[in-house]
Amino acid sequence: MADKINGAKRKFRKYLPILTIGCMVLAGIAIIKFKNGGVKVTTEVAQIRTIAKTISASGETAVLENYVQRALVGGTIKEIKFISGDDVFKGDSILSYDRDSLKSSLDSTYTSYLSAKSDLESYNQKVVSAKATRNIRKQERDEAWRTYMSDNGEDEKQAYKNAEALYQAAISAYVTLEKDKDYTQEAVTSAHSAYTAALNNYTKAAVHAPSSGKLALNDIHTGSLITSGQELFSITNTTNLIFKAQIDEADISHLTLSMPAKVSLDSYPDKVFTGTVQQIDAKVVTLSSGSAVVIADVYFDATDILPIVAMNGSVDIEFAKQENMLSISPDAVVRELDKAFVYTVEGAIAKKLEVQVGLEGDNYTSISAGLSEGSVVITSPGEVNLTDGAKVRL
């Protein structure tokens, strides 16, 4: 037993210097920490800012190809003055018809216009007659009702029911004729437009470019027999680039037309282009990666870059914004259940404050209550396990 005690004493004396040095180091660290003011933290100043929240999406450039010229009347092409790939200007004469073939189209459209106009006049008369019948049936119904109310006999009741049925039938006939009249009016307008176009084509015997851009003929040539409605050519406005943004399915609920956007292109890393959302596709597309997206067209100012399609890039679409809001970094906010807190620095002491959070933007979070402008706020307090009242140093 004595030997064990002596051995323990020898081991203690052996490790005593090490233990002493360790204690001195720990004491020194504690002293330094106390002298330096406690836990080292980083801070920021709560400031008034504009808070924005955006949808970020990738995509590529494209061009507007919505200038498609169709034949308003049929005829035979006499001459085509441009070839596909040519640059044309609005108003240029692209092709001309043979006037003899246009004469038959002019006669046909005029006949259709006269026929539609005659139908409209007939419907006008029918509507007037139906309206008069409706008024007569209403008077008969009202008279039957008064008779029935003065004598509640079965014959009078049946007479009232019959009069009511005739009145409702008259109303239905009148409403139907009014609708048919409206359709006929549209037909007259359409027929008149076709006739006017045919007359114009017959007079000028030419089809002009509706816009400036690059021409693409649609499989037509001199001598081609054209039917009304056939596509003749399209014109691509290469000066008007758009950005086809692939919006994630989860962000669709935030997306509406006319939202402001900023486009960045890989080919122009030093530029940011402003634009707006002008069109949103009506269907979801599944990409090769498996992601479900909706394509949104962003029109942007691209006047100082080359009109090249399929340039890769990204877009930030702003869907929420608050101006003149007190704000701090999102990392400065500590969440505890359904409450939010921040830590401020007052005299080298951390003070925990409950705050109300407003819009949580991409870069900053707005604070609607509980904090004042100019307050020094500790960033990322959770990383240093900060507590209320703790000593801190910057």
Burial bucket for residue 302 (CB in 10 Å: 0-12, 13-18, 19+): buried
Answer yes or no: are the C-beta atoms of 22 and 206 closer than 8 Å: no
Q: What is the pLDDT of residue 66?
A: 60
pTM value is 0.50
65/93 Cα distance (integer angstroms): 20
Q: What is the pLDDT of residue 142?
A: 93
Answer yes or no: are the C-beta atoms of 10 and 350 closer than 8 Å: no
Q: What is the pLDDT of residue 16?
A: 53
Q: What is the pLDDT of residue 72?
A: 76
39-52+323-393 and 55-65+237-320: same fold? no
Answer yes or no: are the C-beta atoms of 298 and 263 closer than 8 Å: yes
Q: What is the pLDDT of residue 20?
A: 54
292-300 vs 339-346, strand pairing mode: unpaired
Q: What is the pLDDT of residue 27?
A: 46
Q: What is the pLDDT of residue 377?
A: 96
350/334 Cα distance (integer angstroms): 14
Return the CATH fold of 39-52+323-393.
2.40.420
The residues with which 179 forms a beta bridge, in sequence order, are none
348/40 Cα distance (integer angstroms): 10
**336 three-state secondary structure:** strand
**363 three-state secondary structure:** coil
42-45 vs 376-379, strand pairing mode: antiparallel
Could you please report the per-residue DSSP string of 100-157? Answer: HHHHHHHHHHHHHHHHHHHHHHHHHHHHHHHHHHHHHHHHHHHHHHHHHHH---HHHH
Q: How many residues does the chain have?
A: 394
71/138 Cα distance (integer angstroms): 50
Q: What is the pLDDT of residue 34?
A: 45
The helix (H) or strand (E) run that includes residue 168 is helix 154-204
Report domain extents, the chain: 39-52+323-393, 55-65+237-320, 99-204
211/91 Cα distance (integer angstroms): 7
Among 199, 236, 204, 237, smallest CA distance to 217 is for 236
Burial bucket for residue 164 (CB in 10 Å: 0-12, 13-18, 19+): middle
Q: What is the pLDDT of residue 97?
A: 87
124/249 Cα distance (integer angstroms): 51
How far from chain centre, in Å, is Cα 264?
18
Distance of CA 351 to CAs 192, 198, 341, 372, 382, Å? 79, 83, 10, 14, 14
Q: What is the pLDDT of residue 30?
A: 45
105/313 Cα distance (integer angstroms): 49
Q: Would you give per-residue pLDDT tens digits along the chain (394 residues)? A: 445 445 545 554 555 555 555 555 444 444 444 445 588 999 999 999 999 999 999 999 988 766 788 887 778 899 999 999 898 998 899 998 888 877 887 888 899 999 999 998 998 999 999 999 999 999 999 999 998 888 888 888 898 899 999 999 999 999 999 999 888 899 889 889 888 888 877 776 788 888 888 888 999 999 999 888 899 998 877 667 899 999 999 999 999 999 999 999 999 999 999 999 999 998 999 999 999 999 999 999 877 787 788 899 999 999 999 999 999 999 999 999 999 999 999 988 999 999 999 999 999 999 999 999 999 999 988 888 889 999 999 8
According to the CATH classification, is domain 55-65+237-320 in 2.40.30.170? yes
Could you please report the per-residue DSSP string of 205-231? Answer: -EEE-SSSEEEEE-S--TT-EE-TT-E
Answer yes or no: are the C-beta atoms of 78 and 97 closer than 8 Å: yes
